[in-house]
Amino acid sequence: MIYLNGIFMPIEDARIPVLDRGFIFGDGVYEVIPVYSRKPFRLAEHLHRLQHSLDGIRLSNPHSDAEWSHLLGQLIAANASEDQYIYLHITRGVAKRDHAFPKNSTPTIFIMSNPLLTPPMESLITGVSAITANDNRWLRCDIKAISLLPNVLLRQMAVDVDAIETLLLRDGFLTEGAASNIFVVGSGVLLAPPKNHLMLPGITYDIVLELAETHHIPYEAREISEHEMRNAQELLLTSSTKEIMPITRLDNQPVGDGKPGIMFMQLYQLYQNYKITVMRGNS
């Protein structure tokens, strides 16, 4: 079951007019929210980022946080899995094709939920491969915009060579992955690219830095050079659906000793424990 403009329906029945500005211009924003044991995880943070994205494209939020929460609860109940991931998408609505904003259009709201499958244990034990590419996206990567063509092309470059992700470099510095945030471990310190307009402020990124702070893991959020990335002891990938994964090969070279490292193992365990605490409602 999905939700489209006020109605719950099977996805096969969902229809969008061809003049929807999402279809014509990619004029919209989205969120992906993991759901564990039927509870949305870090919902307040996802809704806060949604507001930031909407503000970034000058579209007013069609719902209050309480209304979003109610809607998502209904959609979760209408779907079978205990663990799901919600895809929530808002466009500027249907209007005659013109780049400028329409005077009076009603935003299109589409929400779907799919079973959440976290990465297979094997990929956590051996680690995964990644490649690098020039970050050729726009300069508002902090907006979670539905216009993802550069990300699509960059991610496909990885898939073409059986890698899991493309790590992006802008002016010699690591920004993020095509659909994930990236952490570097050097000299035992966890390094995170700084949150700015060049990357999406990941919800999982924030959790990792909170866990580092709470558990006295040394970390720094600062610019990371290509040299530091290529000489890292460990590289970690984070996203709401992939959680934390170890990258053990970069551009066909081993990362560190080519095995998932101690920082990965520690953060992975802390993340799983944190999830359990939140799901029990003790956070």
- Decide whether 181 or 248 has the Cβ nearer to ligand PMP: 181
Strands in 39-40's sheet, in edge-to-edge order, are 7-9, 2-4, 108-115, 84-91, 28-36, 39-40
Q: 87 with 111: CB under 8 angstroms?
A: yes
Smallest gap, in angstroms, from Cβ of residue 19 to ligand PMP?
A: 27
Smallest gap, in angstroms, from Cβ of residue 15 to ligand PMP?
A: 26
Residue from 179, 198, 237, 270 binding ligand PMP (CB under 6 A): 179
Residue from 53, 180, 212, 267 binding ligand PMP (CB under 6 A): 180
Is 144 annotated as catalytic? Answer: yes
Smallest gap, in angstroms, from Cβ of residue 205 to ligand PMP?
A: 6
Residue 37 φ/ψ, nearest 5 degrees: 50, 40
Binding marks (x or -) toward ligand PMP, 227..256, rule CB under 6 A? Answer: -----------xxx----------------
Whole-number Å distance between alpha carbons of 223 and 193: 5
Beta-carbon neighbour count of residue 249 at 10 Å?
A: 18
Binding marks (x or -) toward ligand PMP, 103..122, rule CB under 6 A? Answer: --------------------
Beta-carbon neighbour count of residue 90 at 10 Å?
A: 24
With binding defined as CB under 6 A, does residue 53 bind ligand PMP? no
With binding defined as CB under 6 A, does residue 32 bind ligand PMP? yes
If binding means CB under 6 A, how many residues of this protein chain bind ligand PMP? 14
- Decide whether 93 or 135 has the Cβ nearer to ligand PMP: 135
- Decide whether 238 or 248 has the Cβ nearer to ligand PMP: 238
Range 267-272, long-range pairs (CB < 8 A, 24+ positions)? 267/190, 267/208, 267/211, 267/212, 267/217, 267/236, 268/124, 268/243, 268/244, 270/211, 270/215, 271/207, 271/208, 271/211, 271/243, 271/244
Smallest gap, in angstroms, from Cβ of residue 95 to ligand PMP?
A: 27
Site for ligand PMP in 122-161 (CB under 6 A): 151
**Burial of residue 212 (number of CB atoms within 10 Å: 0-12, 13-18, 19+):** buried
Binding site for ligand PMP (CB under 6 A): 32, 151, 176, 179-181, 200, 202-205, 238-240
Q: Which residues are catalytic?
A: 144
